[in-house]
Amino acid sequence: MQVKTITQTTQDMIDRRKRVVSDGVGIFAPTSAVRAEGAVFYDAEGREWLDFGAGIGVTTAGHCPPTVVAAIQKQAEQLIHACFHVSSYEPYIALCEKLVEILPHGDATKVMLTNTGAESVENAIKIARQYTGKSAVICYTEAFHGRSMMAMTLTSKISYKEGCGPFAPEVYRLPFPNVYRRPKGLSEEEFVQTEIRRLHDIFENTVPSSDVAAIIIEPVQGEGGFNIVPQAYFEALREVCDQHNIVLIADEVQSGFCRTGKWGAYEHYGLVPDLSTWAKALGSGMPIGCVIGKAHIMDAARPGSIGGTYPGNPVCCAAALATLDFMEKENLNARSVAIGKLMRTRFEAMQQRFPLIVGDVRGIGAMMAIELVRNGDPHRPSYDRGDVFIKGCWGQGLMVLVAGVNRNILRVLVPLVVTDEQLNKGLDIIESELEKIND
Ligand SMILES: Cc1ncc(COP(=O)(O)O)c(C=O)c1O
């Protein structure tokens, strides 16, 4: 069925939007989307865009995968809403069973469903507090955890939260162990050891461990610019949490579901968090997320203290089940690794060609980024050229997104159904735009 629209052009749409939609709902890119399939979408002018952003990491299984569309249609004909607090229904339970199977958190695992990433984070904090009977939460610089009040408090970047306070109390922030931007003269290992000491010191100089309910960290930061938690640091975090009865929460909202070549990025570390938060790719665009965790911690939440009217809506659950099924059948984890390899090879070649502007190439699996700097210096982020670069890519029909406090990190979140030909086409565009800003 064709969606009827009175909008003729992208500009018309943006003009209408500006008249009736709050400016607070920011516009990242001046484009429109009318329909989409696989790794491309089409704007109001019918122009094809190669999508290296996936609606911020959501359409990992591709735009409108036919089996997901069919599952949504079928479920919508049968049951759209019941509210899981009121009546139990199959898709919610089946989805939790599937999540427990693919993402076990120790011997016994339980799940609660949510609508969004921020909601997953809010609930994980509530569960951790009820389990430990403690209140403080430790988070990180360059973190992004969402826009609801606790999630926004945990988020680092000021432009997301300016003027929205007062924020939630009892939140403490550690510097993210950003290896690329480590102080000059420190080796990677020395730097990581310094940050581990800082982690231990926080209980001496900032908040006692007896007050701390949770530490929340993104194994690979999303909005922060695909900064990867060093192995030794994650191991230290696990130890510290065990030692002090602190709940370790891995926020996998952006890194989860095949993006890094595994279901969760934490799996690369050979350790298991106590709780983890998810959303985005799970529903292929339908609003669904979850908290997964050790059963005894999940069960510490008192009945009625987590949940809501809509979380785990039957149609969203059907979409999520079909998405996970598709990811498994198409082996998107393996595809993610292959995409990552291709991207890394191309990005490293670009770094060799433009060593002064491509400061860093990093990522796990298909969660790859390049950091744009001045004069090859990690401490001189190239904000203005990042903007010129991204606009150049848009001009060539490539949807790319930037990340990082300084908006100088190109992050790729391409749908994993992308073909090698499409991938190389997008990377050619990136290379040609880097050439233009190279000086
Ligand atoms: C790591 C992480 N956590 C939480 C969120 C918030 O998710 P949502 O926008 O679905 O609330 C995001 C969104 O980008 C994210 O990247």
Residue whose CA lies nearest to ligand 1 atom number 16: 254
Among 160, 253, 275, which residue has the most ligand 1 atoms within 8 Å of its CB, making it the best to mutate? 253
What is residue 355's three-state secondary structure? Answer: coil
Residue whose CA lies nearest to ligand 1 atom number 7: 117
Closest atom of ligand 1 to 148 CA is 11
User: 281 CA distance to ligand 1 centroid (A)?
Assistant: 11
Among 125, 140, 142, 144, which residue has the most ligand 1 atoms within 8 Å of its CB, making it the best to mutate? 144
What distance in Å separates the CA atoms of residue 188 and residue 343, rounded to the nearest whole number?
A: 24
CB 341 within 8 Å of CB 363 = no
What distance in Å separates the CA atoms of residue 292 and residue 250, rounded to the nearest whole number?
A: 10
Other CB atoms within 10 A of residue 126 CB: 18
User: 113 CA distance to ligand 1 centroid (A)?
Assistant: 15
CB 282 within 8 Å of CB 291 = no
What distance in Å separates the CA atoms of residue 22 and residue 117, rounded to the nearest whole number?
A: 22
User: 164 CA distance to ligand 1 centroid (A)?
Assistant: 18
pLDDT computed for residue 124 by the predictor: 98
User: 78 CA distance to ligand 1 centroid (A)?
Assistant: 30
Mean pLDDT, the chain, integer: 96
Amino acid at position 93, single letter: I
For residue 259, list its beta bridge partners.
none
Closest atom of ligand 1 to 222 CA is 16
Residue whose CA lies nearest to ligand 1 atom number 3: 145
Closest atom of ligand 1 to 223 CA is 16
Which of 71, 74, 151 has the alpha carbon at shortest distance from 119?
151
Tell me the Ramachandran region of residue 226: left when phi exceeds 0, alpha when psi lies from -120 to 50, beta otherwise.
left
What distance in Å separates the CA atoms of residue 128 and residue 131, rounded to the nearest whole number?
A: 5
Closest atom of ligand 1 to 252 CA is 1
Give the DSSP letter string of 101-165.
Answer: HHS--SSSEEEEEESSHHHHHHHHHHHHHHHHS--EEEEETT----SSHHHHHH---GGGTTT--
User: 271 CA distance to ligand 1 centroid (A)?
Assistant: 22
Other CB atoms within 10 A of residue 30 CB: 10
Closest atom of ligand 1 to 287 CA is 10
Among 227, 252, 254, which residue has the most ligand 1 atoms within 8 Å of its CB, making it the best to mutate? 254
User: 181 CA distance to ligand 1 centroid (A)?
Assistant: 24
Which of 382, 378, 422 has the alpha carbon at shortest distance from 402?
382
What is residue 278's three-state secondary structure? Answer: strand
User: 9 CA distance to ligand 1 centroid (A)?
Assistant: 30
Q: Give the pLDDT of the chain (439 residues) as one tens digit per residue.
A: 555 555 589 999 999 999 999 999 999 898 999 999 999 999 999 999 999 999 999 999 999 999 999 999 999 999 999 999 999 999 999 999 999 999 999 999 999 999 999 999 999 999 999 999 999 999 999 999 999 999 999 999 999 999 999 999 999 999 999 999 999 999 999 999 999 999 999 999 999 999 999 999 999 999 999 999 999 999 999 999 999 999 999 999 999 999 999 999 999 999 999 999 999 999 999 999 999 999 999 999 999 999 999 999 999 999 999 999 999 999 999 999 999 999 999 999 999 999 999 999 999 999 999 999 999 999 999 888 888 999 999 999 999 999 999 999 999 999 999 999 999 999 999 999 999 998 7
Structure tokens at 418: 């992308």
What is residue 296's three-state secondary structure? Answer: helix
User: 280 CA distance to ligand 1 centroid (A)?
Assistant: 8
User: 86 CA distance to ligand 1 centroid (A)?
Assistant: 28
pLDDT computed for residue 220 by the predictor: 98
Q: How many CA atoms lie within 13 A of 383 on its CB side?
A: 5
Closest atom of ligand 1 to 57 CA is 14
What distance in Å separates the CA atoms of residue 422 and residue 62, rounded to the nearest whole number?
A: 13
User: 116 CA distance to ligand 1 centroid (A)?
Assistant: 7
Q: Which residues line ligand 1 (CB under 6 A)?
A: 56, 116-118, 121, 144-146, 218, 222-223, 251, 253-254, 279
Strands (E), 61-177: 109-114, 136-140, 171-174
User: 180 CA distance to ligand 1 centroid (A)?
Assistant: 23
Q: How far apart are the first and last CA of the chain?
A: 50
User: 189 CA distance to ligand 1 centroid (A)?
Assistant: 30
Amino acid at position 265, single letter: A
Which of 151, 236, 179 has the alpha carbon at shortest distance from 202?
236
Other CB atoms within 10 A of residue 299 CB: 15
Residue whose CA lies nearest to ligand 1 atom number 4: 145
Return the exposure string of 65-82: e unless at least 16 CB atoms fall within 10 Å of the residue's CB, then b. beebeebbeebeeeeeee
